[in-house]
Structure formats: structure tokens, C-alpha cells
Structure 1
């Protein structure tokens, strides 16, 4: 017999995609609770991979009518890292700006996801896609059913003039699919420890050097260093700017 204050333990599996990207899209979701399982999918007329990955998790969470302990499983680094690394919360705190000049993409869905998470106890888990994970493979099938369905809906928040997923992923991930280390508190790619901010030692600039780094990210455990674009400072006139050519 269920106690009145018992919080249910739910597992949420999700996948999404678009063909091409951007193009027709869809997501698939599986919810499981005490051996019971529900499957969902939906297709969209024009969207992107990342929006479908986000929408799958959002849809699944929004199906839960009572506060739950939810284990989310997704093969999207974009979605998992966006929450676990605190990117979405930082973007929201900055009025959905990634940097001073660049807007955070898909802010409508990130905001909706943060709201959905706030209603539950949610833990995010990344799983490798197309690697034999039973539920992930099934979610991929469901997402393709959405893409191929004849009842696709509009993705009202999608803005075709935005920089698309490939540009976003190139900025956030390297060629090996590893998350780039961009902020204090991100995990070191080599050992997993949290990086800190350090300022480089003052040194003489090279002749005609176009820029320098004001700081870098550093792993105190394995001593790995990460140079970040936000720390790059252009040098217009070295002599006027630094006097003795030292920084």
C-alpha cells in the first residue's frame, strides 16, 4: 500500500532528432514506474536536433502529475551538460545571454525545462547513443516515428535565422564529442576534477602579438590548462597599452 507521502521513483528515457538538421523532427520518450511503462512520440514540421532532445525531456517531465524522484537518461551532451554543468541557470541569470554579445539559443525550451525540473527531484544521466542501450534504442525508434508521422506540429519557438546546431555544438564540444571546458567549476576532461580560474604570470609580449589571455582555467588535480575565448584580449597598440611590453 502506498503511503500518502511517498515520492514515486520514475525513470525517464528520451531521444530526439531532425532530418536534415534543421528539418523535420521528432522525439521519443519512455516513462517507467514500478515495472509499468508508457511510450510517447511527437513529430515537428521544422526544428533542430537540439530542440528535439530538449523537448523530449520536457515532455516526459510534464507528464508527471505529482512530485517525483526522476532519473533522466539522454544521449544528448547538450541537454545533460546544460543542466548538470549549470549552463542553463547561468544563461537565465544573465537574461538568456551566453556572453555580453551572444544570446543563448533555445532559451524558450531551456526555461521550460528548468521550470519542469523545479517540480521534481531530477538527476540527469548521459548514455552513449546507438550503443545497445535498450531504452535509448527504443526512444530513437519512437523519435523516427515522430519524424515520419503525418501529424507533425509546428515548433513555435524555433527561429530559422538563428545559428544552428552545428555551430552550437562546435562551440560547446571538441571533435571527439567531449564537452569543452568553458567556465569555472566545469569538469576537467582528463581527470574529472573541477577547474579553477588562474591568471598567467606576467611575461614579455612577442613582437606583433595580436592578443593575450587575461586568465585561464586550471585543474588543481592533474594540472591541465584550458584557454577560453572569453579570456582573450586583443592588443591594438602594445606600447601604448602596456608601456614596458609586459603583462
Structure 2
């Protein structure tokens, strides 16, 4: 089947948690040639962002043949995560951010990237609670999930709670600390040139560097404040 012959499907989604974190739910609408399918799922304990992600994942995973899918979501977290390339970058960096902490909801971001690869997907952001018919319906479906009697467990969120310290920032503070990405011992390096942005009143005298994966860590102990004449105010 050629690209032009792929079925064209619209996917509308919404999700939420009450409170956040709390009991959650999402709603999904799939539309193909005037045919509509609706889905509503509830979770015992989760977050808003996880439900927004899960809604899109669930909808895409329901499509069993390669398709051109247009996703409509009111979550900038989800839409920008894909359109701005953040998720692809996180995957490339093994789901570790620059400061060394793990990417939140990495289980769902990975799952989303995997299912996107099976289709031709375009993401569109829509303003929530603004009269968008399908978005309003998805919001109702999400509420139905939140208030349903038969909610399921969000195993990924429960795993996060059990290992929360690994998702929180673990600072690299001194030479000899283990790199958060590859566990190689970091070394101290001095920048070749001091580059300041307009209005910037500080610089870093040195940084910590991983000789293996080339990750740089800017540490507070190396930060130096300067006056308007460029003189350091503190040792």
C-alpha cells in the first residue's frame, strides 16, 4: 500500500486526574470515514500528564493497520514533547536529562515513540474547554473513567513511586563523582573562553566533565558572580 493509499484517521484525546496525583481517566475518539469509536478508561492512582499520554497511546494502539493519523490533544506536554523533538532527544540520551535526573513518565514516552513509528502521525494542539466538540466529548469520557467503579492500576506510576529517588535530581558536585549517564568518574575542566550573555552577571570557573560520554555538569561551587565591570565579587 502506497503512502497516498493509507487510511486517514482522526484521533481525539483527553485525560486527567482528580486530584493530581489521584484517581484518573482518559477518553479517546477515533474517526474514520464518518465512523466513530469512543473509549473511556479509569485508573486508581495516576497523574494528569500520564493520562494525557496514555490517551494518545491507547488510541494509536487501537489502530491495527498502518495509517495516516492526525492527533488532536489539549495537552501541550504531549504535543510539544513530540513536535519539539523533546521525546526523541530524551530517548537518544537514554532518558537522562542534562542535570542527571531521569525523564518523568519515560515508560509512556517510550511507548508513544514506539507506536508512532508504526504510523504516519501528525500532532495538533487544541485549546481545552473552548467549545471544540470532540475535545469536549473526550473530556466527558475522561470524567467517566475517573468516576468509574472498575478502575485499573497504573503500574508505571506505582513503579515511579517506589523508585522516586531515581527520578529526582541527583547532583554531581565534585571531581570523582560518578556520571549519571554512564557512571564513569567525572573530572574537572576549565572553559577555554568565558562567554557571557547580555545582562549575565555570573560565570563558571570550571565544570565537571565525563571523559566517556562527554556529558558536562555545571556545579554551584564553580559559579562566580561579577559586577558591571566584569570583576568577580566572590572567591
Question: Which TM-score applies when normalising by structure 1?
Answer: 0.68
- TM-aligned CA distance change 1:140 to 1:213, over 3 Å: farther
Q: Counterparts in 2 of 1:228-247, with a 5 A limit?
A: 234=220, 236=222, 245=231
Separation in 1, partners of 2:73, 2:204:
35
Equivalent pair of 2:17/2:46 in contact (CA under 8 Å): yes
2:60 is aligned to 61
1:149 is aligned to 148
Q: How many residues align?
A: 187
1:65 match: secondary structure = coil
Which blocks of at least 5 consecutive residues in structure 1 are unaligned? 168-198, 215-229
Separation in 2, partners of 1:124, 1:54:
12
- TM-aligned CA distance change 1:64 to 1:213, over 3 Å: farther
Separation in 2, partners of 1:85, 1:17:
23
2:41 is aligned to 42
Which blocks of at least 5 consecutive residues in structure 2 are unaligned? 169-194, 206-215
Q: Report deviation, 1:160.
A: 2.8
Equivalent pair of 1:212/1:233 in contact (CA under 8 Å): no
Q: Counterparts in 2 of 1:1-247, with a 5 A limit?
A: 6-158=5-157, 159-160=160-161, 162=164, 200=196, 211-212=202-203, 234=220, 236=222, 245=231
Question: Which structure has the larger Rg?
Answer: 2
- TM-aligned CA distance change 1:150 to 1:120, over 3 Å: same
- TM-aligned CA distance change 1:231 to 1:129, over 3 Å: farther
Separation in 2, partners of 1:237, 1:124:
40
2:213 is aligned to none
